[in-house]
Amino acid sequence: MAQETQTAAAEEVVVEKERAEEAAPPAVVEEKQAEVVEAVEEPKVEEKEAKVTQSASFKEESNIVGELPDAQKKALEELKQLIQEALNKHEFSAPPPPPPVKEKEAEPSAKEKKEEDKPAAETEEKAPEKVETEAATHVEVKEEEKTPPSAEAPAPETEVVEKAPAVEEDGAKTVEEIEESVVAVAAPPPAEKPEETASSSVEPEVPKDEPKEAEVPPPPPEEVSIWGIPLLAGERSDVILLKFLRARDFKVKDACSMIKNTAIWRKEFGVESLLEEDLGNELEKVVFMHGFDKEGHPVCYNAYGEFQNKELYQNTFGDDEKRSKFLRWRIQFLEKSIRKLDFSPTGISTIVQVNDLKNSPGFSKKVLRQATNDALNLLQDNYPEFVAKQVFINVPWWYLAFNIMISPFLTQRTKSKFIFASPSKSADILFRYIAPEQVPVQYGGLSREGEQEFTDADAATEDIIKPATKHTVEFPITEKCALVWKVRVVGWDVNYGAEFMPTAEDEYTVIVSKTRKVGPADETVISDSFKTGEAGKIVLTIDNQTTKKKKLLYRSKAKPYSD
C-alpha cells in the first residue's frame, strides 16, 4: 500500500510538471520535480531506463490547417463554433465559476430562503384546508354516533359560518350542512385574490417592462484578443487555437474552457496595461533573450544562479510586495517575448528555453520555490505550447540521476522536449541546436552584447583539436586590408599564438600574438587584428597538450583601410 501511495503521488506531480514545461522558468521546473523525488523509487527506474535513452527529439507539428489529420481539423472547427457561441453570449467577460465548496454552502441558504417564503404562500389557503379537515372529521363522528339531528341546529349554523370551531360543538349536523358551512367559510379567500391581483396590477412597471425588454436588440458579440490577435480572425487565430487544443489533447470542450479562463484571467490580471509598466531592469541577467536557434526560434536564457547574490535575492523575494512584483515582471517579460513571434501558419510561434543550473539555489530557498510555483501555476494555465525545447545546461550529477528516476512517469511528448547536459558537455549540447555565433560568450559561444566587428550573419567555423596535437588555422590575405578574428576553445587549457606569414620569400614572418597559455578558467574569446598592405596569411596555432579533444570556434573578416 505504501508503494502504491508513493507511485500515485509521483504520477500526480508529474502531470503538473508536464503542463509546466511550456514557458516555465528553470527554477519552476526544478522545484516541481523536487516534489517527485520523495515519491519515486529506484526499482521503477531500472525497469524503464532503456526507454528514456531512446527518446527522440521533439518535432513541432504543422500549423497549416490543410496538413492536419482529419480528426484535428474537425476538432478545430468544433472549437471555433463553441467560441463563437461563447462570444455571442459574452461568456468571456463572466467571472470564473466559484469553487465547489462555495456552491455547497450556497445550496442550504437557498433552501432556507424557500422555507421562509413557504409559510407566506400557505397562509392564504390554510383556513379553508383546516375547515375541510375538521368537517371531514366531524362527518366520521356523525356516522359513528348516529345521533338524530337537533332541533336547534339552525342556531349554531350561523356560528359555523363565522367561526370554524363552532363545528366541533355540534356533531349532529348533516353532511350537507357541513359542506355548506365549508363553502361559506372558504368563500372569502377567492374574494381576496381579486384584490391582490388588482393591487399588483397597480404597479405599471411589470407589464410595461416585459415588452420593452423584448424590443431591445441583443448586444453584439464580444471582441476578445489574446496576444494581440482576435480569437476568430483567420489563419493566425487558428495557430493560437491549435495551441490550446494540443495542450488539452484535442478535447474540444476542455480547450474551450481553457481559452475562456485565460481570457478572463488576462482581464483580471491587467495584462494589457502591464505591458506599459516600468518594473525596472534588476533581473535582466536572470532571464533574457539572446539570438536564435538553428531553426529560427528565439532563445530565452534563464540563469537562476544569479540569485546567489543575497542583495538581489532580498530585493526580489524579501516580502509579499516584492514577490508580487517579480511575478508581474516575469509575466511582462514573457508577454513582450510572445508579441515578437510570428503567428502565421508557416511562421515561428514557439521559443527555446535554455536553463542554466550552475549555482542555482535549487531546493534550499523556500521563498524562491513558492514564487516560482506561483509563476508556474499561471504559465501552465495561460501560456500553452510556447516552448519548442527545454535545454538544461550545467546540470549537476544528482539532477541527471533524478531525471532518470522520473522519466518513466513522463509522456513521450514531454521527454522529447527535454535535453540535459552536464557542465563538461553544456557547450557541445548548445552548439547542437544553436550556432556558436548565436550563443553568448558566458555559455561557450562567440556572441557578445555590443559586438561591432561581427554580426550574427557572420558564421563561425567549428573544428576539433585532437589530444596532444598542434592545430593550425589560416586566414589568407590577398589585398591591403585590416583582418580581424575571434577565437575560442571550449574549456581552453591550451597554448595559443598567431603570426603573419607574407607570400614574398624575402619577407620575414611577423609575430601578431605571442604564444601563451590559456587556462581552463579563462572562459573568454580572444580577439585579434592585423593590418597589412601585402599578400600573405595569418596563421593561428593552438597546441593541445592534454589528453582530451577540444572544440575550436573561430571566424574572421577583412575590412579595407586607408593610411
Q: Average pLDDT, stretch 513-523?
A: 87
Q: Tell me the C-alpha distance between 323 and 319, whole Å.
A: 6
In a domain, 193, yes or no: yes
* Cβ-proximal residues to 223 (8 Å cutoff; 6+ apart), any chain: 87, 230
Residue 413: pLDDT band by 50, 70, 90 thresholds? confident
Query: Do 345 and 490 fall within a single domain?
Result: no
Cβ–Cβ under 8 Å, residues 109 and 246: no
Tell me, what DSSP letter sits at residue 437? Answer: G
Residue 146: pLDDT band by 50, 70, 90 thresholds? very low
Residue 131: pLDDT band by 50, 70, 90 thresholds? very low
Q: Average pLDDT, stretch 128-145?
A: 44
In a domain, 94, yes or no: no
The residue ranges of DSSP E strands in 387-509, in sequence order, are 387-393, 418-420, 461-465, 469-477, 481-490, 494-502
Tell me, what DSSP letter sits at residue 447? Answer: B
Query: Do 410 and 282 fall within a single domain?
Result: yes
Residue 518 C-alpha cell reads as 590559456
Q: Reply yes or no on whether the pLDDT at 372 is more than 60.
A: yes
Of 146-155, 308-317, 423-432, the range with the lowest mean pLDDT is 146-155
> What confidence tens digit (pLDDT) does each residue in 76-117 have?
999 999 999 999 999 987 554 566 655 444 455 544 544 555
Query: Do 491 and 359 fall within a single domain?
Result: no
Report pLDDT for 268.
93
Report pLDDT for 165.
44
Cβ–Cβ under 8 Å, residues 92 and 224: yes
Query: Do 401 and 466 fall within a single domain?
Result: no
Q: Average pLDDT, stretch 411-436?
A: 89
Report pLDDT for 159.
43
End-to-end CA distance of the chain: 85
Report pLDDT for 26.
42
Query: Do 475 and 528 fall within a single domain?
Result: yes
Q: Reply yes or no on whether the pLDDT at 30 is more than 70.
A: no
Cβ–Cβ under 8 Å, residues 167 and 135: yes
In a domain, 239, yes or no: no
Q: Reply yes or no on whether the pLDDT at 32 is more than 50.
A: no
Query: Do 480 and 412 fall within a single domain?
Result: no
Report pLDDT for 2.
43
Where do we find the cell 580577439? Answer: 527
Q: Which of 512, 563, 519, 521 is CA-nearest to residue 541?
A: 512
Q: What angle do CA 31, 406, 372 make, to 5 degrees?
A: 15
Query: Do 205 and 313 fall within a single domain?
Result: no
Q: Reply yes or no on whether the pLDDT at 135 is more than 80.
A: no
Report pLDDT for 9.
46
Q: Average pLDDT, stretch 313-336?
A: 92
Select the more confidently predicted residue: 369 or 168: 369
395-to-136, 277, 548 alpha-carbon distances in Å: 90, 35, 21
Q: Which of 4-8, 367-371, 442-446 has maximum average pLDDT?
A: 442-446
Rg for the chain, CA atoms, rounded: 40
Please report, for the chain, how many H helices and E strands are present, in that order. Answer: 19, 15
Domain end position, chosen among 367, 402, 434: 434
Q: Tell me the C-alpha distance between 361 and 352, whole Å.
A: 23
Report pLDDT for 151.
43
Domain end position, chosen among 419, 434, 449: 434
Q: Tell me the C-alpha distance between 542 and 519, whole Å.
A: 13
Grouping H, G, I as helix, E, B as strand and the rest as coil, residue 411 is: coil
Q: Tell me the C-alpha distance between 113 and 102, whole Å.
A: 17
Half-sphere exposure of residue 6, counting CA atoms within 13 Å on the CB side? 13
In a domain, 7, yes or no: yes
* Paired strand residues for 295: none
Query: Do 284 and 428 fall within a single domain?
Result: yes
Report pLDDT for 215.
64
> What confidence tens digit (pLDDT) does each residue in 181-235 have?
444 444 445 544 444 444 444 455 545 555 555 566 778 888 899 999 999 989 9
Give the mean pLDDT of the chain.
Answer: 76
Q: Which of 349, 340, 330 is CA-nearest to residue 287?
A: 330
Q: State the pTM of this model.
A: 0.68
Q: Average pLDDT, stretch 465-484?
A: 94
Query: Do 305 and 380 fall within a single domain?
Result: yes
In a domain, 304, yes or no: yes
Q: Tell me the C-alpha distance between 295 and 350, whole Å.
A: 11
Query: Do 284 and 181 fall within a single domain?
Result: no
In a domain, 308, yes or no: yes
Domain end position, chosen among 185, 215, 245: 215
* Paired strand residues for 529: 484
* Number of residues written out for the chain: 563
Domain that holds residue 423: 2-60+270-434
Q: Average pLDDT, stretch 340-353?
A: 95
Q: Reply yes or no on whether the pLDDT at 179 is more than 60.
A: no
Q: Reply yes or no on whether the pLDDT at 164 is more than 50.
A: no
| CATH code for the domain of 542 | 2.60.120.680
Report pLDDT for 276.
92
Number of domains in the chain: 3
Residues of the chain by 3-state class (helix, strand, coil), percent to 5 = 50, 20, 30
Query: Do 401 and 323 fall within a single domain?
Result: yes
Q: Tell me the C-alpha distance between 80 and 73, whole Å.
A: 11
Q: Reply yes or no on whether the pLDDT at 4 is more than 50.
A: no
Q: Reply yes or no on whether the pLDDT at 33 is more than 90.
A: no
Q: Reply yes or no on whether the pLDDT at 40 is more than 80.
A: no
> What confidence tens digit (pLDDT) does each residue in 273-297 have?
999 999 998 999 999 999 999 999 9
Query: Do 484 and 536 fall within a single domain?
Result: yes
Report pLDDT for 108.
54
| CATH code for the domain of 52 | 3.40.525.10
Residue 492: pLDDT band by 50, 70, 90 thresholds? very high
Q: Tell me the C-alpha distance between 445 and 73, whole Å.
A: 42
In a domain, 249, yes or no: no
> What confidence tens digit (pLDDT) does each residue in 106-123 have?
455 544 544 555 444 444
Residue 375: pLDDT band by 50, 70, 90 thresholds? confident
How much of the chain exceeds pLDDT 90, in percent? 48
> What confidence tens digit (pLDDT) does each residue in 425-434 have?
999 999 999 9
Report pLDDT for 101.
59
In a domain, 224, yes or no: no
DSSP 245-306: HHHTTT-HHHHHHHHHHHHHHHHHHTHHHHTT----STTTTTEEEEEE-TTS-EEEEEEGGG
